[in-house]
Structure formats: structure tokens, C-alpha cells
Copies of this chain bind each other. A is one copy, B any other.
């Protein structure tokens, strides 16, 4: 409790470190907001601001009431000789207990904060992909379901003690891969848990909603709908990258300089390489230096390294970033090929690069770094081996299956009651007009004529 004399305890420092990292993750919500607001049309800017402000609130509120309980509550553990053990039943799948933090002390409360800002991230990823046509309340319902239930279950599987594919088992002998000396799925900061979950929910949302009016012409050819403010979009990317240092480095969960430093380096090298790669790619694919491609490739490089940021060598981080750029560009083309309209490329960035990130952790992770990152005394045979890749692959399939199984019926139900999408008239006028009181995000005189005279053209 902060006595002014003596030395700092490790547990005290752990808490402060996680809080500071959590502040940065909170700040990522500003990044998503600016990125998305800049990316959409002028007439939908308020709608984005409103949605994302609401996402943070919904995320905090529902994760407080239910989400944290279903992710990390331990009431449904089985006690064997007074030692808690994962049972083969419910605790493998979902947590229980500690609803509304009713079992929490101040010593562990930092953990809720950090996990809560993560949860809201998964939801906010969706908001960009469905921008410009989703009904506001339908989106809020989506965000609620994601933060209260869908995301917590995924995080339980992979990050909770005893989750069926978790690295954090009480006893590795309990692992479902124990026969093969395997441990669990490596997803250090959440390429899978957070980004894939958001990306797949975004995919189904965008698909079931259908494209914005005019996004494809009569022949089905895509028509570009340009962002209304690329400066703000770029600001969003810088905010996200800055916040990502909290997201990845903070996922050490302890005040641990060496591992956090390791993470900071890979979290710099991967997006940097993705940027350089995309600069070249954009020159050859788009025929010019495409800003949108570079901004999204930076994010793709960040998503790609997130699962393995603590467990791969530098050269692997560079290679992961390099490939992330291709995965993003290819993913984006693929989404468009299937006539899915994703205004901010969230599916390609978070979904595709998220999958790549989880698989890459199975390919490039080294035993030594995993031992250090997971403070593990035992060595598991599977690391860096075909088995580990198989575990990662199973994790990818599990996340895809779970999120799809939850979100597809959900979206279809909303669609069936005609609640999912705004009317064509509203969409054309713009959501700022129709849902937000006939306001525009911008007002003012036309661009200052008094300067036009001195303008150099």
C-alpha cells in the first residue's frame, strides 16, 4: 500500500505496470475511432464517433457484469485434495463466478481493467466493417454480445487456467495434448483471442449486412468510396501503434523488463517491415504509393506479431511483418472478390492477419523464448514442432467455429426482424442526418476565400 519507506514489492510493480499498459490499450479506442471516422464518408462521421464512444461504455459495463466472470471466474473448478483442477466439464469451456467483481480485492483489480479494455477492442473491430449502413442499436447489441459472452469464452479457452487449449494450465499433465508432450496454444497478446474474434465477427457482419449502396456497380465491379479525412485516419493508425506497445508489452502481466523489451522490439520490427513491404507492393499493384494500403499494412504487421511477440527471434518478427503485408493485401482483395464491403478493411487486417499471427507463433517460436515469456520451468516437446503448429491450427479453427456459431444466427435474427440495417433512404442521406439529429460533423464557411488569392497552384 505504498509505504514511503522500504523497497517496492514485485506484486505492487506488476499492478502498476499492468495499469499503465491498460491506459495505453484504452487509448487504442481513440485510435480505432479516428481511423474509422477518417475512413468513412463525411456524412457518417458522427455515427462512427457515437458508436465507438458507446463501444467503450458497453464493453466496460458488460465485461464488468458478466464478461470477466465467464472469462476468468473459477467457481466451477473442481477441488481435488484441496488443489484446484480443471474439470473435464464446464471449466474447460467457460468460467463462472466473480460476477460484477464480487470476489475481487484491490490487489487483483488491475487485472479486470486490463482485460476489460481488451474486450472492448474485440467489439470495436466490428464497428468499422459494418460502418455506413448498420442500425445503431443493432451494432450496440452486437458489441454487448461480443464483450459479455463471445469474447470472454475465447479468452477463457486460451488464457484462463484450465481452458481447454490454454498455456496456463495448473498442471501440464492435464493438457489435452499431454500424451504428445504438447502444452497449449501460444497467443501471447491476442492475434487470435482479440483480433481474430473481432475480425470474424466483422466478416459475418459485413457479409450479412451486404455492401453499402453503390459500392459495386451494375456489373459487380467495385466502386471506390474514398475516406473523407485521411489525416485523421493516419492519426488513428499512429494512436493504435502507440497503444499497441501497451497491448503487447503489457501482456507480460508482470513488471518484467527483459520480456517487455523483447516484445517492444518485435512490435516495432514487424509493422516497420510490413510498411516497407507495402510501399513496394502498392507501387506495383496499385501503380502509385497508396496511403491506405500502407496504413493498413502497418496494422496488419502489428496484428501479425501479436501472438508471437515474446517468443520469436528478431529475424522472425521481420519475416512475420513481411508476410503480414501480403496477407493483408491478399485478404483485402479476397474480401472484395466475394463482393463483401468492408469500409476499413478490418476483415483483412484483423481477421486474416490474426490467423496468420496465430499460425506464425507455431512456426517461428523458440523453446528458450517460450520458457522465458511464460515463466515455465518445464519444457514441452511440442514447441517449434509440427505438434505446436497443429495446436495453433486447432486454435484457429476453434475460434472461427465459435465466433461464427454465435454471430451468424445473431446477425440473421436481427436481419429477420428487419433491425439490422438502416433504410436505403437513411443510408443515402447519411447516418449523421438520419440518426443523429440532422447534424453534420462539420460546419463553417466555405474554405477561406481570403487565402485563395495568395494560394500557389
Contact = CB atoms under 8 A, between A and B. Distances in A.
A3 interface: yes
A436 to B, nearest CB: 5
Interface string A279-305: 100000011111100110010000000
Contacts of A136: 289
Contacts of A232: 231
B9 A214 contact: no
Contacts of A59: 272
A259 B106 contact: yes
Chain A contact surface mostly:
helix
Interface stretch (A80-88, A192-200, A440-448): A440-448
A337 interface: no
A228 interface: yes
A212 B456 contact: yes
Contacts of A212: 456
Interface stretch (A40-48, A173-181, A381-389): A40-48
A61 interface: yes
B294 A100 contact: no
Nearest to A31: B238
B443 A286 contact: no
A220 interface: no
B437 A287 contact: yes
A231 B45 contact: yes
A256 B9 contact: no
26 contacts: A1-B375, A5-B11, A7-B8, A12-B256, A12-B257, A26-B245, A27-B242, A30-B238, A41-B455, A42-B444, A49-B234, A57-B273, A61-B269, A136-B289, A213-B456, A225-B454, A225-B455, A228-B442, A286-B437, A290-B436, A291-B436, A291-B439, A440-B451, A443-B448, A443-B451, A445-B447
